[in-house]
A and B are shown apart, each in its own frame.
Chain A
Amino acid sequence: MTPTVVLPVIIGGLYAAGVYLLLDRSLTRVLVGFLLLGNATNLLLLSSAGPGGLPPILGVSEADEMSDPLPQALILTAIVITFGVAAFVLAMIHRSWALARNEAVANDEEDRRVAGRHDTDADELDPDELAPEDRPAGHADSLTRHRRTEAVADDVDLPLTEVRP
């Protein structure tokens, strides 16, 4: 048995490309990245069967010349699951596009608000006494601000507000 170099190289390449795409903010790239990773994993499962052999059908080939059927069954299951999840992600991309004309991963507003709090413990105060950017998301006076930050930049460190009155 001679170990093949081709399969590990392909698997490694697919994993690298998949991880790179998965880290992107655009959802379509994330989806493509996920598909690449799924295929890489399927190839990994395939290679776990050892060197290829004859089709594992009783009566067609001898038992010791057959390739291992179990990983193939596992791969089939994994393909079906990947397919279903990919369809769901596509639906989410479509929904995200319909809602915001944008398919990038959005910021978590509440998280930004908590992270951006400073000076005093803001929750000890009445929201109306707070500076507008410290108010809870969705507070009446802060709605305009939220509309301004809706467009999502490509970098992660988006400043919450530019101006402080």
Chain B
Amino acid sequence: MISVLAPLPVLLPLLGAACNLLVGRHPRTQRAVSLVVLTAVLAVSVALLLQADESGATAVSVGGWPVPLGIVLVVDRLSALMLVVASTVALGVLVFAVGQGSADGSEETPLSIFHPTFLVLIAGVSNAFLAGDLFNLYVGFEILLMASYVLLTLGGSAPRVRAGVTYVVVSLTSSLIFLAAIGLIYASTGTVTMAQLAIRLGELPEGTQLLLQSMLLIAFCIKAAVFPLSAWLPDSYPTAPAPVTAVFAGLLTKVGVYAIIRTQTLLFPSGALDDLLMWAGLATMVMGILGAVAQTDIRRMLSFTLVSHIGYMIFGIALGTAAGLAGAIFYVAHHIAIQTTLFLVAGLVERQGGSTSVNRLGGLATRSPLLAVLFFVPAMNLAGIPPLSGFIGKLGLLEAGVADGSPLALTLVAGGVVTSLLTLLAVARVWTRAFWRPPTQEPAADTAAAAASDAGPSAGEPALVGAGAPSGDGQPTQRQAAWRAAWERHEQVATAGTGGSAPRAAGVRARRPLPRVMAAATGAMVVVTVGLTFVAGPLYGYTDRAARDVLERTPYIDAVFGDPVPAEEGE
């Protein structure tokens, strides 16, 4: 049963992507295929979760090759939970993207590439969660990165290409470090299967272990955006289309966090770098949130809070206790959902207000009360207001820190509280300025050019940045004509919400209804995040069991090798 189910979260999206490429000219079919595939992946993941919680870790040898030779997929409580949360979020984002596609009327090109790429991304994420050997983990990372390169530069406008360059170069560097680490690990142990490595790495000299551990840690910390290695994230995420940013923010960094949990607990249980990780976690929390407080653009603010809250997870991992890990795993699940939701809301805000800069927004609460609720609930959840799940996750981590009792852990507890307060400050500022401020205080000289250049980069079409650019090369090509048409469409879209240059009565503005599908998808995600609060008890019990599993290590190793523990351990 499970041997059939386990490969499906990787296989189904890949097959779906192939189908989507074949039917590239029929957007309806594409949408249907994507929705069906992701729903199926969600169902399979839930089945795997139930199975894993009941019978513990299970390993599946793909193609029937015996274990150290072939590829193993391992489903344990941790990876099953990750799969479920990831596929839920992916489904929500997909519905949002479908809604945005039909609301924009841009159902044909260039978004026909969106669906297959999105599915490939999900396949890569699932593969990374299920991988039982390091090289397969690397391949999973590469699949998801390749897809993310395409998604991030969708449409190929100048700001996106700029952001894409940063993102691609940084990701390449981390991949190369990871690959070199795999090479060195293979040279010193003769295997890349994680269960086997768990035994053999312990036999190496301490210096070698430390080198391998730090190489893997650097590679994963770049992907997870842990502080000294996090500068790429706020630089590259905000320019992408809303659904893309949402899924990136939710999933991609968490895959890095998952890899850190897996390697830190399974491969290097000695905890040699735990103190260093503690400091990194503290720096990530504090530096990230200070960055967030300085921002005036909602998306950039959210990108910085994303970095900042990675620090909480690193804190839990670095504690190395069952309570700390349970808190970290719970926080990962919570944060995937919450961060995705907030970025989706930012997408809606942009549609509604024509901008994501709090300097230019105002009065959204009166114009669109639904949007205000959709922002307020997850924002409070992110800041950790009781009784929401963000509070529960933070409380669990802080308790674990206090229980640890070392001065460093207590410093991190203090840092965590400060970060939580500053998060509240950051989201409250967005709330007061974009939503609560009376519309009359809005900057009046919001001209068409300003609004359009704002909406340009993120409306899913190639935009001319700087508005005067086409005079540069002086040869009017067909493409430029197309650009100009796109540009004019932009101006219409961007100025429709602001009333354009037409004189308007103070405080009275054209009310645009929220696009129904997009609002529904965001609403569903908000419900999911609130739902996490209601199932927090059972979920926390589950993450506690998952944490004990990964700390014990034997369930994972036994699952891969079958019950009799291999002879090497006796030696």
Q: Are A47 and B161 in contact (CB under 8 A)?
A: no
Q: Are A85 and B172 in contact (CB under 8 A)?
A: yes
With a cutoff of 8 Å between Cβ atoms, the chain A residues found around residue B357 in the complex are: 136
Q: Are B187 and A143 in contact (CB under 8 A)?
A: no
Interface size on B, residues (CB 8 A): 58
Q: Are B187 and A41 in contact (CB under 8 A)?
A: no
Q: Closest Cβ of chain A: how far from B201's Cβ, in Å?
A: 15
- Does B536 belong to the interface (CB within 8 Å)? no
Q: Are A111 and B235 in contact (CB under 8 A)?
A: yes
- Does B443 belong to the interface (CB within 8 Å)? yes
Contacts A85-B146, A114-B294, A136-B296; is A74 near B182 (CB within 8 Å)? yes
With a cutoff of 8 Å between Cβ atoms, the chain A residues found around residue B453 in the complex are: 138, 143
Q: Closest Cβ of chain A: how far from B21's Cβ, in Å?
A: 16
- The complex places the Cα of A37 from the Cα of B135 at a distance, in Å, of 18
- The complex places the Cα of A24 from the Cα of B375 at a distance, in Å, of 41
**Closest partner residue, chain A, to B180 (CB atom):** A41
Q: Are B180 and A44 in contact (CB under 8 A)?
A: yes
- Does A45 belong to the interface (CB within 8 Å)? yes
- With beta carbons under 8 angstroms apart, the residue of B169, B184, B359, B429 that contacts A44 is B184
Q: Closest Cβ of chain A: how far from B536's Cβ, in Å?
A: 35
Q: Are A95 and B156 in contact (CB under 8 A)?
A: yes
CB proximity to B under 8 Å, residues A127-148: 127-128, 136, 138-140, 143, 146-147
- Does B223 belong to the interface (CB within 8 Å)? no
Q: Are A127 and B466 in contact (CB under 8 A)?
A: no
Q: Are A140 and B445 in contact (CB under 8 A)?
A: yes
- The complex places the Cα of A156 from the Cα of B319 at a distance, in Å, of 38
- Does B454 belong to the interface (CB within 8 Å)? yes
Bitwise interface map of B from 304 to 332 toward A, beta carbon under 8 Å scored 1, else 0: 00000000000000000000000000000
- The complex places the Cα of A106 from the Cα of B146 at a distance, in Å, of 22
Q: Closest Cβ of chain A: how far from B538's Cβ, in Å?
A: 40
- Does B139 belong to the interface (CB within 8 Å)? yes
- Does B92 belong to the interface (CB within 8 Å)? no
CB proximity to B under 8 Å, residues A72-110: 74, 77-78, 81, 84-85, 88-89, 92, 95-96, 99-101, 105-106, 108, 110
- The complex places the Cα of A55 from the Cα of B501 at a distance, in Å, of 75
- With beta carbons under 8 angstroms apart, the residue of B166, B234, B449 that contacts A140 is B449
Residue among B157, B179, B360, B453 facing the most chain A CB atoms (10 A cut-off)? B179
- Does A57 belong to the interface (CB within 8 Å)? no
Interface size on A, residues (CB 8 A): 48
Q: Are B161 and A96 in contact (CB under 8 A)?
A: yes
Residue among B149, B162, B182, B300 facing the most chain A CB atoms (10 A cut-off)? B162
Q: Are A101 and B472 in contact (CB under 8 A)?
A: yes
Bitwise interface map of A from 48 to 75 toward B, beta carbon under 8 Å scored 1, else 0: 1010000000000000000000110010
- With beta carbons under 8 angstroms apart, the residue of B146, B157, B186 that contacts A88 is B146
Q: Are A127 and B187 in contact (CB under 8 A)?
A: no
CB proximity to A under 8 Å, residues B416-451: 429, 433, 441, 443-445, 447, 449-450
With a cutoff of 8 Å between Cβ atoms, the chain B residues found around residue A114 in the complex are: 294-296, 300
- The complex places the Cα of A84 from the Cα of B175 at a distance, in Å, of 14
A-B contact count (CB 8 A): 133
- The complex places the Cα of A47 from the Cα of B188 at a distance, in Å, of 11
Q: Closest Cβ of chain A: how far from B302's Cβ, in Å?
A: 13
- Does B173 belong to the interface (CB within 8 Å)? yes
Q: Closest Cβ of chain B: how far from A32's Cβ, in Å?
A: 13
- The complex places the Cα of A59 from the Cα of B536 at a distance, in Å, of 59
**Closest partner residue, chain A, to B157 (CB atom):** A99
- The complex places the Cα of A85 from the Cα of B172 at a distance, in Å, of 8
With a cutoff of 8 Å between Cβ atoms, the chain A residues found around residue B142 in the complex are: 81
- Does B499 belong to the interface (CB within 8 Å)? no
- Does B158 belong to the interface (CB within 8 Å)? yes
With a cutoff of 8 Å between Cβ atoms, the chain B residues found around residue A123 in the complex are: 296, 358-359, 429, 433
Contacts A99-B161, A114-B294, A146-B466; is A138 near B454 (CB within 8 Å)? yes
With a cutoff of 8 Å between Cβ atoms, the chain B residues found around residue A45 in the complex are: 179, 182-183, 186
With a cutoff of 8 Å between Cβ atoms, the chain B residues found around residue A74 in the complex are: 135, 182-183, 186, 192
- The complex places the Cα of A128 from the Cα of B447 at a distance, in Å, of 11
Residue among B139, B142, B166, B360 facing the most chain A CB atoms (10 A cut-off)? B142
Q: Are B165 and A127 in contact (CB under 8 A)?
A: no
Contacts A44-B183, A108-B235; is A143 near B169 (CB within 8 Å)? no
- The complex places the Cα of A81 from the Cα of B169 at a distance, in Å, of 14
With a cutoff of 8 Å between Cβ atoms, the chain A residues found around residue B179 in the complex are: 41, 45, 78
Q: Are A143 and B466 in contact (CB under 8 A)?
A: yes
With a cutoff of 8 Å between Cβ atoms, the chain A residues found around residue B186 in the complex are: 45, 48, 70-71, 74
Contacts A37-B176, A123-B296, A138-B454; is A96 near B165 (CB within 8 Å)? yes
Q: Are B168 and A88 in contact (CB under 8 A)?
A: yes
Bitwise interface map of B from 285 to 301 toward A, beta carbon under 8 Å scored 1, else 0: 00000000011110010
10 A-B residue pairs with CB within 8 Å: A41-B176, A48-B183, A106-B158, A106-B165, A114-B296, A127-B443, A136-B296, A138-B450, A146-B466, A150-B466
A interface, CB within 8 angstroms of B: 22, 27, 30, 34, 37-38, 41, 44-45, 47-48, 50, 70-71, 74, 77-78, 81, 84-85, 88-89, 92, 95-96, 99-101, 105-106, 108, 110-111, 114, 117, 122-123, 126-128, 136, 138-140, 143, 146-147, 150
Additional A-B contacts beyond A37-B173, A96-B158 (17; CB < 8 A): A34-B169, A34-B172, A41-B183, A47-B183, A47-B187, A70-B192, A74-B135, A81-B175, A85-B172, A88-B149, A95-B161, A108-B162, A114-B294, A136-B296, A139-B450, A146-B466, A147-B466
Q: What are the 9 A-B residue pairs with the smallest beta carbon separation, nearest first?
A: A48-B187, A138-B453, A123-B296, A45-B183, A140-B447, A140-B450, A106-B162, A44-B183, A48-B183
